[in-house]
Structure 1
Amino acid sequence: MTQDAPPSILELPSMAALEPGMVLDGFRLDERLHQGGMANLWSVTRLDEKPAGEDFPLIMKVPRIKGGEDPATIVGFEVEQMLMPALHGPHVPRYVARGDWTRQAYVVMERIDGPTLRPKLDEAPLPLEELVDIGARVALALHALHKQHLIHLDVKPSNIMFRPDGTVVMVDFGLSRHDHLPDLLEEEFSLPMGTGPYMSPEQVQFVRNDPRSDLFALGVMLYHLATGERPFGQPTSVRGLRKRLYLEPVPPRAINPDIPPWLQEIILHCLEVKPERRYPSAAQLALDLRQPLGVQLTRRADKLARSGTLANLRRWFFALGSEPPPKAQASEQVARSPIVMAAVDIEEATPELLSQLREVVRRIVQTEPGARLACVSVMKTARLGVDELTDKDGRSLHVKKLIGLQHWARPISRSLKLEDGRLTFHVLEAPDTGDAIVEFANKNGVDHIVMGARAHSTLQRYLGSVSSQVLNESGCTVTVVRESL
């Protein structure tokens, strides 16, 4: 591929048709290093003059879009594209470039020439000194991320890499959350996000704003590296995940008697159900691992068996009705930062209506310097039967809608110079367009919906319209832009 003018949506090339030697936005694809279920990794070379400081090898991450994949994987790649430029320091790959979905979505970053932590699981249980050293280095890397307002939310051995000097590098931020950037996953989905064995109890309850979730995942890894077993198995259902809200893991020393009491204390401290009972920070966890003489031993250190049936039954009862804690009220910050939602029907609206809608949205956002613009389109799905997820050429319909939204919003972005976090795109899959728009607006605290409506027709008078439904059911201001006659 070369840097020609962007093709139309109908002319988009297949996002999977990449071969060694191709040139994409000035980067030559040299070798495919890894082919995963969700993304491919390529070693690449910059053909243009290197910017100052770019004296490291490069890797390009490219999503595998075949049509029919989980929409969360597409959104997750958008999240990674948004978050990578906001991160810095030795514990993350250095960000280089990204490509939009119009031509080819990708992220170019520093290639880390070192192993992941994953092979160490096959060697478990590890020697105590090695286990403690790994745990402390990972904890300090997490602390560095938390100080940058980021919660990883998918901490697991395959997402932990090591530089040649031993520095821990966290990778794969597709499920992460940043305090100062939109949480696209929370906005669009209502299922637990994470990797089953490592998910914290609060993630199971759809809470994504606590950095101590990462400490729970680190506790799971320490348990595995110390015993050779996972504390909560490998659940594949929400019901299985919820068991960690009331069932304790077998104490590590019951599996491996060589584990010292202080290490069991640390591990079980990380695995507490309630976040407030875990370490308050990753730095304090690292300190205990490095300085075990300072570990305050509690009854956790002496346990050699799970609690009895009565205690489990009590915890189960409370977990049954357990709800995540309410989020703090934003008040002043919310007033300064309204969310404007542009509901855009790319396929059905006329060019005139799309243009009118864009101009109205631009004027509204322009008057609110702190406004966030969320561009939303609905991909209708069948209530019964099998949905068509690709077009006649095998391209993902979800991605086509996403690209259509980005094309529509491009003049607004250029005119107002909207930076990352102030402009986001959402493709909702639902059988009813009006319901999807109202649910998104109400769930995410939208302040103002702007949407288009065609001129009145006899059919609309009898059956109603999406715009009238949104006007009646949403809890915010709604502006309807009607097509000129």
Structure 2
Amino acid sequence: MSVVRHHSLQSGMEFDGYRLEEKLHTGGMAALWRITDLQQRHDSGEQAGQDGPALIMKVPLLYSSEDPTAIVAFEVEQMIMPKLRGRHVPHYFGAGDFDAQPYIVMEHIAGDSLRSRFEKAPLPIDEVVDIGTRIAHALQDLHRQHVIHLDIKPSNIMFRSDGTAVLIDFGLSRHDRLPDLLDEEFRLPMGTGPYISPEQVLGVRNEPRSDLFSLGVLLYHLATGERPFGHPTTISGLKKRLYRDPIPPRNHRAVLPAWLQEIILRCLEVMPQARFDTAAQLAFLLQNPEQLQLTARADKHTQDGFLSVVKRRFQVGGAEPALLHSVSEQLAKAPIIVAALDLASGSEALAESLRHITRRMLQTEPGARLACLTIRKVSRIGMDDSLIQQGENIHVKQLVDLKHWARPLDVDPDKITFHVLEAPDPAAAIIDYAHNNRVDHIIIGSRGSSALRRYLGSVSAQVVAEAACTVTVVKAQEKE
């Protein structure tokens, strides 16, 4: 390994089999270089060309700052990035040690960061929802890999050419299964002023819902053009979010729907347990707002009064939120469960078996969200056959039947949703729904006997084979 002086990097320089081509960006703690892999060791990447994938090298600015967190944050990123996989993070290729030239080589994500969209805020509501959903999916994928980002902000979110959100810069992150160097060495809050969560201000670094708070700040800004907590630069300024609620978004922009204000203000709750349980649940409700249970947040027009603020200040002053052992613990406490039902005549016994299994599962997973799902099989050729002869809407009837099936389960209304999907292929519809909503577990029925056994059995078998989550198949013997 060749030894390089950290502060003398220049275009054209070669070391460790890489050549520096162009400095793309210089931030507060690191610089990004476009590089060439002279040894052509890497043969995959988002922007692969004739000479292999497009790569960038991240190099810490060790001589431009007196802040020791720059070094520790770079060590953290060197530890975490090799552990990450998937489309929501840059592909990792290698790293250099501090005893020669520290660096991280990673996939170059082409395109702009989310920061460019903030210049256009407020954005159309559909775009705000779409961006929020894609970021929430990226966060859920990251959390499933035992990592809390803890620095979600516009410049740390990129988008692939297909729209997939990519999270970058893991210097302030926390990995459940690795040492937390930042927590061990520093006591000041770690994060970015406008986006840091209340618990981070208090030094708590193991709460995955901190990332949901930061996403709530992004949604607020994209929807209104304003920051909910301004841009504080002092500890006392950061602590105000522990007791001072933001101006309701609809005060800034009256056309915002009540359900979107409900979602944004819930993300911005002081206590993590008052937010959404997981990023997957947040994404689910952004995509299915009609299933959201509205509260007083939705109609809020003013900030809380003086007495409420004083009371909250005494309640949270000096107190830390309840701590979790890991991000994995939080995800395990709040799975999304789908009960996929066929409520056609003659399936009563199977429906009861499904309800029994679902009840048992909810008893063991009290924080779960239940999605009750049925498929209305339609022709591939579009026809308007939504009304039966008596004039009753089939879609509405099936929705009512779903709610009737679920009523004995006595699930909190905030934890259950109902969906009638119209599709020519029931199995594919269930699989797509599970994928799009990051479902953790599917419960589906399969008849033990009857003329429809072959058809229904094929649906459950296909779901078992292709769904990227746990599937429980429930069978019930019925009389011929």
Question: Which TM-score tier does this pair reach, normalised by the shorter chain?
Answer: 0.5 to 0.7
Q: 1:324 Cα shift?
A: 4.1
Q: 1:41 Cα shift?
A: 0.6
What letter corresponds to residue 115 of structure 1 in structure 2?
D
Q: Which residue is 1:293 aligned to? A: 290
Q: Which residue is 1:444 aligned to? A: none
What letter corresponds to residue 113 of structure 1 in structure 2?
A
Q: Which residue is 1:96 aligned to? A: 93
SS at match of 1:41: strand
Matched, 1:86 2:77: no
Distance in 2 between residues matched to 1:266 and 1:34, nearest whole Å: 35
Q: Which residue is 1:363 aligned to? A: none
Distance in 2 between residues matched to 1:214 and 1:201, nearest whole Å: 11
Matched, 1:30 2:21: yes
- Aligned counterpart in structure 1 of residue 192 of structure 2, from 171, 195, 213: 195
- Aligned counterpart in structure 1 of residue 234 of structure 2, from 217, 234, 237: 237
Matched, 1:133 2:97: no
Q: Which residue is 2:12 aligned to? A: 21
Q: How does 1:420-431 map to 2 (within 5 A)?
A: none
Q: Which residue is 2:32 aligned to? A: 41
Q: 1:68 Cα shift?
A: 4.8
Q: Which residue is 2:142 aligned to? A: 145
Q: How does 1:184-263 map to 2 (within 5 A)?
A: 184-263=181-260
Distance in 1 between residues matched to 2:302 and 2:59, nearest whole Å: 46
Q: 1:38 Cα shift?
A: 1.4
- Aligned counterpart in structure 2 of residue 50 of structure 1, from 15, 23, 41: 41
- Aligned counterpart in structure 2 of residue 154 of structure 1, from 151, 157, 163: 151
What letter corresponds to residue 57 of structure 2 in structure 1?
M
Q: Deviations over 1:209-250 (max 9, x none)?
A: 011000000000000011110001111111111111100000
What letter corresponds to residue 26 of structure 1 in structure 2?
G
Distance in 2 between residues matched to 1:197 and 1:326, nearest whole Å: 23
Q: 1:66 Cα shift?
A: 1.2
Q: How does 1:363-402 map to 2 (within 5 A)?
A: none
SS at match of 1:74: helix
Q: Deviations over 1:96-150 (max 9, x none)?
A: 0100011110000000001100011111110011110000000000000000000
SS at match of 2:314: helix
Q: How does 1:438-449 map to 2 (within 5 A)?
A: none
Q: 1:72 Cα shift?
A: 0.6
Matched, 1:60 2:57: yes
SS at match of 1:43: strand
SS at match of 2:57: strand
Q: Which sits farther off after the overlay, 209-218 or 62-71?
A: 62-71
Q: Deviations over 1:76-111 (max 9, x none)?
A: 011111111000100000000100011110000000
What letter corresponds to residue 191 of structure 1 in structure 2?
L
What letter corresponds to residue 27 of structure 1 in structure 2?
Y
SS at match of 2:8: coil
What letter corresponds to residue 6 of structure 2 in structure 1?
M
Distance in 1 between residues matched to 2:145 and 2:69, nearest whole Å: 24
Distance in 2 between residues matched to 1:25 and 1:126, nearest whole Å: 45
SS at match of 1:214: helix
SS at match of 2:71: helix
Q: How does 1:104-183 map to 2 (within 5 A)?
A: 104-183=101-180
Distance in 2 between residues matched to 1:299 and 1:236, nearest whole Å: 31
Distance in 1 between residues matched to 2:166 and 2:325, nearest whole Å: 32
Q: 1:169 Cα shift?
A: 0.3
What letter corresponds to residue 159 of structure 1 in structure 2?
N
Question: How has the CA–CA distance of structure 1 residues 68 and 37 changed in structure 2, closer, same or farther, with 3 Å as cutoff?
Answer: closer
Q: 1:172 Cα shift?
A: 0.4
Distance in 1 between residues matched to 2:5 and 2:135, nearest whole Å: 38
Q: Deviations over 1:187-210 (max 9, x none)?
A: 000010000110111101100001
Instruction: Give the length in aligned residue pairs.
Output: 320
Distance in 1 between residues matched to 2:212 and 2:233, nearest whole Å: 22
Matched, 1:308 2:279: no
Q: 1:325 Cα shift?
A: 3.3
User: Please, what is the CA RMSD of the aligned residues?
Assistant: 1.4
TM-score by length of structure 1 reads 0.64
Q: 1:37 Cα shift?
A: 2.5
Distance in 2 between residues matched to 1:191 and 1:63, nearest whole Å: 21
TM-score by length of structure 2 reads 0.65
Distance in 2 between residues matched to 1:275 and 1:324, nearest whole Å: 7
Task: Please list every run of 5 or more consecutive structure 2 residues that lacks an aligned counterpart in the other structure.
Answer: 327-480
Q: 1:326 Cα shift?
A: 5.4
Distance in 1 between residues matched to 2:215 and 2:249, nearest whole Å: 15
Question: How has the CA–CA distance of structure 1 residues 298 and 83 changed in structure 2, closer, same or farther, with 3 Å as cutoff?
Answer: same
Q: 1:323 Cα shift?
A: 3.0
SS at match of 2:231: coil
